[in-house]
């Protein structure tokens, strides 16, 4: 396997972005949406997630390690490109560029987000409605959250589109066109869920 390392790493990068990281994002956004139903229901959902059996094992193997690999290899990929949207201002070339920009934004956002929530929780702070409400009380933090959420949903939706090509699922131009529409729908739906959830804390 040593010879075709790059092919293997690239394919893993594409796969892990969708399974499990993409699925994790959907679950995470879904649970967050409890915030729109009020404090009590949100705290109950958080409590349920916190007390899942095998929580640490699942966190490590389904969340932390795949994201870590995807992020580190993603930085390498992002900085390998020389962008040329000035001369080639086509839709897909812009998406190519945004995919790399959003990836870096998500990485920075995530580092901050994990620091403020997961690491704070590990230090003994209680995770509940008030924790998030305190964070987004600051309008700068709220804007940062919205930018982070939209970057995440874009990166996931557009990544889903290229996942279809990378694995040879959407080969014909027609199927790639339809997949553009479908992933646009995924982007809009997830963005709505994410932004509505964060605004519920305000």
Partner 1 sequence: MSEKTIRLIITRQKDQDGKSYKEEFELPYRENMNVISALMEIRRNPYNAQGEETTAVSWEASCLEEVCGACSMVINGKPRQSCTALVDQLEQPIRLEPMRTFPVVRDLVVDRSRMFDSLKRVKAWVPIDGTYDLGPGPRMPEAKRQWAYELSKCMTCGVCLEACPNVNDKSEFIGPAALSQVRLFNAHPTGAMHKAERLNTLMDGDGGLSNCGNSQNCVQACPKGIPLTTSIAALNRDTTLQSFKNFFGSDNNF
Applying CB under 8 A, which residues contact partner 1? Answer: 3-4, 6-7, 10-11, 77, 79-84, 86-88, 90, 92-93, 95-97, 99, 161-162, 165-173, 176
Nearer to partner 1, 61 or 94 (CB): 94
Helix (H, G, I), strand (E, B) or coil at 201: coil
Task: Supply the minimum distance, in Å, between the C-beta of residue 93 and partner 1.
Answer: 5
Pairwise CA distance, residues 199 & 202, whole Å = 5
Q: Kindly tell me which of 54 and 79 has the beta carbon lying closer to partner 1.
A: 79
Nearer to partner 1, 115 or 167 (CB): 167
Question: Least CB distance from residue 87 to partner 1, whole Å?
Answer: 4
The least distance separating partner 1 from the CB of residue 89, rounded to whole angstroms, comes to 10
**Residue 162, SS3 per DSSP:** helix
Nearer to partner 1, 15 or 142 (CB): 15
Helices assigned H by DSSP within 51-118: 55-58, 65-78, 91-114
The radius of gyration of the chain's CA atoms, rounded to the nearest angstrom, is: 18
CA 56/CA 67 separation, integer angstroms: 15
């Amino acid at each position: 396997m040593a010879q075709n390392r790059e092919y293997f790493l690239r394919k893993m990068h594409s796969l892990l972005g969708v399974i499990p990281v993409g699925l994790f994002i959907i679950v995470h956004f879904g649970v967050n949406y409890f915030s729109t139903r009020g404090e009590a229901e949100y705290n109950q959902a958080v409590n349920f997630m916190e007390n899942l059996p095998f929580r640490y094992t699942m966190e490590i193997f389904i969340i932390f390690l795949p994201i870590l690999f995807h992020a580190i290899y993603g930085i390498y990929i992002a900085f390998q490109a020389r962008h040329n949207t000035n001369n080639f201002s086509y839709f897909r070339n812009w998406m190519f560029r945004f995919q790399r920009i959003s990836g870096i934004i998500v990485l920075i956002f995530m580092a901050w987000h994990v620091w403020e929530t997961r690491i704070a929780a590990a230090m003994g702070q209680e995770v509940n409605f008030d924790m998030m409400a305190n964070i987004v009380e600051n309008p700068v933090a709220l804007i940062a959250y919205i930018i982070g959420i939209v970057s995440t949903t874009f990166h996931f939706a557009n990544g889903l589109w290229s996942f279809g090509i990378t694995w040879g699922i959407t080969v014909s131009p027609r199927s790639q066109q339809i997949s553009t529409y479908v992933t646009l729908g995924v982007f809009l739906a997830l963005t709505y869920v994410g932004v509505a959830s964060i605004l519920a804390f305000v």
